[in-house]
Amino acid sequence: MAATAIDLQPYASLDDEDCEQRIIKAKQTLGDRLVILGHHYQRDEVFKHADFSGDSLKLSREAAKSNAEYIVFCGVHFMAEVADIISRPDQIVLLPDLSAGCAMADMADLDQVERAWTELSSVLDAEQSITPVTYINSAANLKSFCGKHGGVVCTSTNAQKIIEWSFAQREKVLFFPDQHLGRNTGVKMDIPLEQMVTWDYDQPMGGLTPEDIRQAKIILWKGFCSVHQMFKPEQIENFRRETPNGKVISHPEASYEVCQLSDYVGSTEFIIKTITDSEPGSQWLVGTELNLVNRLHQTLADENKTVQFMSPMLCMCSTMFRIDPQHLAWVLENLVEGHVVNQISVAEDVASNARIALQRMFDN
């Protein structure tokens, strides 16, 4: 066993084919001690090595049920945190590149949320009036905040059910970090747009008046996904002119205007199932991440389905793209040599309250 961890630098010059063979060999050596998780938005050169693929929460739950000692998450930082929070104490979670973050998750940090809670409390009794709800695309300490303040976590799949539960607890919801998922979910629940106000975390009192806060049902954090922000109504209008029989499907992280013009709106898993189950020869415009859209197009080509990315500008999740075959090979070969690199470990005082918020979600 090597005395020190293997240095990352030599891996930078390896081509993907060399990495692929080294990844395969390391996986064979580690056997059942290892499970690799591949998020839907991951690049194909990495995605092909995943033992489980799916969205972030599904992957974490699959890993926790496995017998694996090592969980290598090919995703982004908040996903690996969730895996660490809900996995067993004897399991170790690794993220191949620690710079793989999430711009949306970074738009809400604990200091900002605590300041917002204090400012909201100057207008009304926040602890009695507001249920904090965090999208799973958020840092562990924000999940912990929700756990401590009677709040909950949601996904894009269960957001409506979770917000309904939240209203049963208290009259208002503070929803972060993605304003679009919150707004699109509220619209599905027949909440008027004027009762969903946006909290600008760069402004005192979120840029709102006390009356704005009192009349709001949902207070939406001013966060967004940079990929889903690229989709525009005119892209849908152009598609409909050129493809009259085509269908439009979007993720609820897209804007209200885009979702209103779409035929279907739903989570990544919903998008995959809807397009996969559609009639052969169908044509789709898809408002979600590029790698997933391309993978669907290639997978369903034999059925003569056309699956087209909504934006004319090609854009993938750039932070997820940082997980490459070189980093994956480096992490796995270190494990073979007995070294854990890039471990993601959430402090227990944070994890314990985050589990409470997650459990509230699981219970609903």
pLDDT at 1: 43
* pTM of the shown model: 0.93
CA–CA separation, 104 and 79 (whole Å): 13
- Where are the domains positioned within the chain? 9-101+319-346, 105-226, 228-309
Check residue 286 and report its DSSP letter: E
The SS3 assignment for 72 reads strand
Rounded to the nearest angstrom, the gap between the alpha carbon of residue 150 and the centroid of all alpha carbons in its chain is: 22
CATH code matching the domain that covers 9-101+319-346, chosen among 3.10.129.10, 3.40.50.300, 3.40.50.10800, 3.40.50.2300: 3.40.50.10800
Q: Classify 228-309 by CATH class.
A: alpha beta
- 9-101+319-346 matches 105-226 in fold: yes
pLDDT digits 0-9 by tens, 152-206: 999 999 999 999 999 999 999 999 999 999 999 999 999 999 999 999 999 999 9
Q: Which of 230, 185, 228 has its CA nearest to residue 41? A: 228
pLDDT digits 0-9 by tens, 68-107: 999 999 989 999 999 999 999 999 999 999 988 788 888 9
| Over residues 331-355, mean pLDDT | 97
Return the residue matching tokens 């020190």.
Answer: 4
pLDDT digits 0-9 by tens, 208-230: 999 999 999 999 999 998 888 88
CATH topology classification for 105-226: Rossmann fold (3.40.50)
CA–CA separation, 228 and 104 (whole Å): 11
Q: Which of 76, 73, 108, 81 has its CA nearest to residue 319? A: 76
Cβ neighbours of residue 56 closer than 8 Å, sequence gap 6 or more: 39, 75, 78, 79, 82, 136, 137
CA–CA separation, 32 and 328 (whole Å): 17
Name the average pLDDT for the chain: 94
Backbone φ and ψ of 318, nearest 5°:
-65, -35
Cβ neighbours of residue 278 closer than 8 Å, sequence gap 6 or more: 247, 284, 305
Given a contact cutoff of 8 angstroms between Cβ atoms, the answer to whether 197 and 216 are in contact is yes
pLDDT digits 0-9 by tens, 4-39: 899 999 999 999 999 999 999 999 999 999 999 998
Max mean pLDDT range (229-233, 258-262, 268-272, 293-297): 258-262
Whether the per-residue pLDDT at 287 is higher than 90: the answer is yes
